[in-house]
Structure formats: C-alpha cells, structure tokens
Amino acid sequence: MVVDTQNERPMHRIQLNKVGIKNLKTFFITERSGVRHHYIPTVELTIDLPADIKGIHMSRLVESMTEIISDEFSVHDSVEDLQIRILQALAERHLCTHGEVRFDFEFGYTSRTPASKKRTWEVCDVTATTIMEEGKPIRHSVEIQVIGNTVCPHCMANNEGLTHMQRAIGTLNVVGVTEQIPNYGDMIEVIEGSFSSRTYSLLKLEDEMYVTKKMHDNPLFVEDVCRNILQGAKEKFSVRTLEVSAEARSLESIHKHDVIAKGRIVTNGD
C-alpha cells in the first residue's frame, strides 16, 4: 500500500507560488521552415500549490515533460509549442492554477565573416519561458544574449582619436502570446546590429581589419547600444504586440567593473 503523504495537510496553511524541479537536463528537436535544431536545455518546471496540500508529486512533473518530448521522439514545431504541450500534460496530473516551464540553452546559427566571407558558426544564450495561468492567455518570454563590442566615444573625442574598446553583451527580451513571438534569428539580428561592431568566432586578417575599422567608425556608449536594441526591436517587430526590454553590458577594458544600461518599450501592432 502506497501512502501519499503529499495529500496530507501542511503544518502551516500557506499557498506557495512555485513548487517543482530545477536544473534538469533534457533533449529535444525542433524544425521550422525546413531548418532543424537540436537542444539540450536546463529545465525549470513549476506549478502553484494550494494552502491545504502538503506537497506535489515531483515525479509527475518529470513524467509529463518526458512523455511529451519522447512521444515517438517527435520533431516539434517550436520551443513555445513544446512548452505549451508540457504544461497541458502537467495540468492533467496536478490540480494547479499556474504552471511555468523555463528552458535555458545555447543556440547555434551560421554566419559569414565580413570581408573574407568564410562560413562560421556562432552561439548565443537563450532563455525561453512559457506561463499557463487559469483564466488568462498563455504567455511566453524569450530572452537572447549576444556578444558584440563597443568603442568609447568620449575617450576618442578627448584623446586625439585614441580610445578603449571592449567586449559587450546585448540582451533582448520579448514577452507576448504565442502568435506574437518572433523567431530567434530576427532577435539575434536586432542585437548584432546594435553594437559598435559584431564579433565573430572566425576572423582572417582582412576580417580583423574590417571589424577594427568599423568599431572605430561607430563608437558607442553602453547607453547607445541599449537604445539601439530597443529601437531595432521597435522597427523589426512593429506589427507585433510585445513587451520588449533590453540590457547592454560593457565588460570594461580599463576598469575593474562592468557598465550596464537597461530599458523597456511596448510594441502595440499599430
């Protein structure tokens, strides 16, 4: 006989907003527009817990996700579609009014070096979250981080053209309902175009010369980069209804600290 201690009454009758699992690794495949991607995300999967229930059945969370992912080892339409199906399966096993699934993973994409035009692979960090809440539309949050660079315009203007340069990290986050979420490629394009210059995994000498000149021809504060990301998203996603936030972080080369700028806009589809 199995005793479900989870269904007992807790010592303290307090509702919990999020209960579940964190730092679970899994594997799945998506295919969109003929392009197939393989993912190994770190997963956080949570639901709310009523005040009068002691605990949840943790194994059912993993079971819900595993069954959906390994359903004949499906190729899924998108990360968002997969996360919706996981939460729907979870709701069938647990009485909950709020469910949330988060994937953290690295996303690979191809590029070309700017002068030699050699093919190169680039990698960025993605956090994709889906929230299902009773009585509300399903909402998604997608956050992408891309590495670029900055050149300081203040130092350049006051130092006979000499200045410091540094690696920078641009972050773009969009929040909206399923049909409004843009693809990763468009989000990456917005971020990459917001720096003094893009960075590349592969650079031949002619590419190094190109990137260095472009950086110095386009000196930017971290504030400029953040505003560029927001403006780029505003223009790129003008027909969508999204909450958009951005962060630019400069890994300063002449300081022992980093510099950041953050901002937020809303696109309303007009």
Same domain for 78 and 180? no
Best mean pLDDT range from 3-7, 10-14, 253-257: 253-257
Q: How far is Cα 82 from Cα 9, in angstroms, rounded to an integer?
A: 34
Residue 2 has pLDDT above 70, yes or no: no
Q: Residue 241: give its domain's CATH number.
A: 3.10.270.10
**Residue type for position 220:** L
- Collapsing DSSP states into helix, strand and coil, what is residue 209? helix
Do 207 and 157 lie in a common domain? yes
The pLDDT, as a whole number, for residue 208 is 95
- The pair of structure tokens assigned to 190 is 């917005």
What total number of domains does the chain contain?
2
**Angle at Cα 39 formed by Cα 36 and Cα 43, nearest 5°?**
145
pLDDT computed for residue 234 by the predictor: 96
Give residues with Cβ within 8 angstroms of 119, minimum separation 6.
110, 111, 112
Residue with tokens 């972050």: 171
**C-alpha to C-alpha distance for 207 and 117, rounded to whole angstroms:** 9
Summarize pLDDT for 216-237 with one digit per residue, the tens: 999 999 999 999 999 999 999 9
| Residue 191 structure tokens | 């971020």
Residue 135 and residue 31 share a domain: no
User: 50: how many CB neighbours lie within 10 A of its CB?
Assistant: 13
Domain end position, chosen among 38, 69, 96: 96
Q: Quick one: pLDDT at residue 73?
A: 61
Site of tokens 């590029």: 111
Predicted confidence (pLDDT) at residue 193 exceeds the cutoff of 70: yes
Can you give the pLDDT at residue 4?
64
Largest CA distance in the chain: 82
**For position 256, what pLDDT does the model report?**
95
Kind of pairing, strands 28-32 and 75-76?
A: parallel
Amino acid at 241: T
Q: For residue 44, which of 103, 132, 127 has the smallest C-alpha distance?
A: 103
Range of the domain at 17: 1-96
User: Quick one: 116 and 30 in the same domain?
Assistant: no
- Examine the domain organization and report whether 108 and 126 are in the same domain: yes
- Is pLDDT at 174 greater than 90 in this prediction? yes
Same domain, 58 and 115: no
- Same domain flag for 109 and 228: yes
Nearest alpha-carbon partner for 86 in 74, 103, 109, 69? 69
Residue 131 has pLDDT above 70, yes or no: yes
